Chains A and B, each alone.
Chain A
Amino acid sequence: MTFEPGDRVKVLLSEKPGHVRIPGYLKGKAGWIESLIGEFPNPEELAYGHSGLPVRPLYKVGFRQADLWDDYEGPAEDYLYADVYEHWLEPGEGGPT
């Protein structure tokens, strides 16, 4: 496991074609590891009939809503949590939140 709860992370800007398990609006956005959900076969491989092995860590990742939407007018403590596979994450800047 590369990441621990509290680690700052950034979602890759990859334009990987085909079936991907990352919402477009999270690409390139900074957040933090909230928790490890578990390890699962990679659904991006399962989608094409492959085994999806080895299993990949899946994290619950937190984002500030204000970091996701240019015109966000809600409270600064509004967060969005998304399930993100490790292969979509890189280390982010700054220390744990």
Chain B
Amino acid sequence: MGGSPGGPIDRVQHEVEDWERLADAINAALSGKGLQTTDQHRRAIESLEEYRDLSYYERWVAATEKLLVEKGILTGDEIDERAAEIERRWGGP
């Protein structure tokens, strides 16, 4: 990755999951509204401490959250509260 050894490549195709489509859509919407640019998003992705432990769209989501907090559009608490609410409604058995 980025020119450094990244280990073997997993060539198995996988279906795109709903949350991944949603992550993509949210990014497109934020760009459309002028709230985020590709350059900013890339920078935020690169600066994730857990970069190497995350999947592609997990990086997207984490970077988007970071940018929205950085820009003062949402707070980390607001995001966590909303995530907990969604988890209560839809998550788990």
Contact = CB atoms under 8 A, between A and B. Distances in A.
A binds B: yes
Interface of A: 18-19, 23-26, 43, 46-49
| Contact-residue bracket for chain B | 10 to 19
Given A46-B40, A47-B40, 7 more contacts: A18-B47, A23-B2, A23-B3, A24-B3, A24-B4, A26-B3, A46-B37
Contacts of B37: 46
**A contact face: mostly helix, strand, loop, or mixed:** loop
B21 interface: no
List the 5 closest pairs (A to B, CB-CB), nearest first.
A25-B3, A47-B43, A24-B3, A19-B43, A46-B39
25 contacts: A18-B43, A18-B47, A19-B39, A19-B42, A19-B43, A19-B46, A19-B47, A23-B2, A23-B3, A24-B2, A24-B3, A24-B4, A25-B3, A26-B3, A43-B39, A46-B37, A46-B39, A46-B40, A47-B39, A47-B40, A47-B42, A47-B43, A48-B40, A48-B43, A49-B40
